[in-house]
């Protein structure tokens, strides 16, 4: 079995635009951004950035991929990993503190609850981006766009195999409930193919997604205040 490693990362740079997008804000006025930053200030001490990961050899067939210790059925994942002999398998979380803030605010201020939700979503995505960039830099490789259980034709049930291989509860305090819901909620498990440094990377993280109508699609639809 491949070695599983754990990292604690510093807080990645915060992207206000992404947080507003997760909050569903189509216009960034002063009151909205003020609330966002007030909630961010409150959340800073509640956030912890932790990742556990392993590098696994992969064997790719038409509609399934075999890793060290488990096999996942997914034609789309097989296409995503085409040409890769290894893959990065990882889990990331920003901790349970943000969940407590969301729950507390939800009972008192729906607007604050929404902003804490958006901050949590932005923070976990930024953590994944930062970790993948650090892995590429340290290993001198490129990574394919990450692919998570529940995306495309990869069943959510794949979470169980990832959790078992990474031992997420012991390593980063990330657990999996009976409904395959992760706790803390602002967490991600993902697989990313490892390629030579020279491979061209897609410029948009949403480029591989066919859901052009998605409200969270990364596009320039948030207008700035005049």
pLDDT tens for 100-132 read 999 999 888 999 999 999 999 999 999 999 999
Min mean pLDDT across 63-67, 172-176, 196-200 is at 196-200
CB atoms inside a 10 Å sphere around CB 47: 20
Q: How much is the mean pLDDT over the chain?
A: 89
pLDDT given for residue 28 in this prediction: 74
Residue range 199-226: average pLDDT? 47
Closest CA to 45 of 94, 106, 114: 94
Residue range 69-94: average pLDDT? 97
Q: How confident is the model at residue 222 (pLDDT cuts 50, 70, 90)?
A: very low
Contact 90, 212 (CB under 8 A): no
The highest-level CATH class for domain 5-195 is: alpha beta
Q: How confident is the model at residue 150 (pLDDT cuts 50, 70, 90)?
A: very high
User: Residue 81 CA to chain centroid, in angstroms?
Assistant: 18
Residue 79 tokens read as: 């296409």
Residue 34 tokens read as: 């003020």
Residue 225 tokens read as: 């205040």
Rounded to an integer, what distance in angstroms lies between the CA atom of residue 181 and that of residue 190?
15
pTM for this entry: 0.88
Q: Which residues, in sequence order, are bridge partners of residue 92?
A: 51, 188
**Whether the predicted pLDDT of 225 surpasses 60:** no
Rounded to an integer, what distance in angstroms lies between the CA atom of residue 194 and that of residue 199?
10
Rounded to an integer, what distance in angstroms lies between the CA atom of residue 46 and that of residue 192?
28
H or E stretch covering 138: helix 110-139
């Amino acid at each position: 079995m491949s070695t599983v490693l754990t990292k604690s990362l510093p807080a990645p740079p915060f992207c206000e635009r992404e947080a507003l997008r997760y909050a569903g804000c189509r216009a960034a006025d002063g009151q909205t951004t003020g609330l966002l930053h007030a909630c961010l200030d409150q959340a800073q001490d509640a956030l912890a950035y932790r990742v556990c990961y392993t590098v696994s050899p992969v064997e790719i067939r038409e509609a399934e991929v075999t890793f060290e210790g488990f096999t996942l059925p997914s034609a789309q994942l097989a296409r995503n990993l085409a040409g890769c002999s290894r893959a990065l398998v990882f889990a990331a979380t920003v901790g349970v503190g943000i969940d407590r803030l969301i729950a507390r605010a939800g009972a008192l201020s729906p607007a604050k609850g929404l902003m804490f939700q958006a901050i949590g979503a932005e923070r976990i995505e930024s953590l994944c981006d930062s970790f993948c960039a650090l892995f590429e830099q340290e290993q001198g490789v490129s990574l394919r766009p990450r692919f998570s259980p529940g995306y495309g034709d990869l069943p959510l049930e794949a979470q169980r195999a990832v959790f078992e291989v990474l031992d997420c509860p012991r390593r980063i305090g990330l657990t999996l409930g009976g409904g395959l819901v992760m706790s803390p909620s602002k967490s991600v498990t993902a697989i990313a193919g490892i390629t030579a440094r020279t491979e061209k990377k897609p410029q948009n993280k949403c480029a591989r997604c066919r859901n052009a109508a998605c409200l969270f699609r990364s596009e320039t639809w948030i207008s700035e205040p005049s």
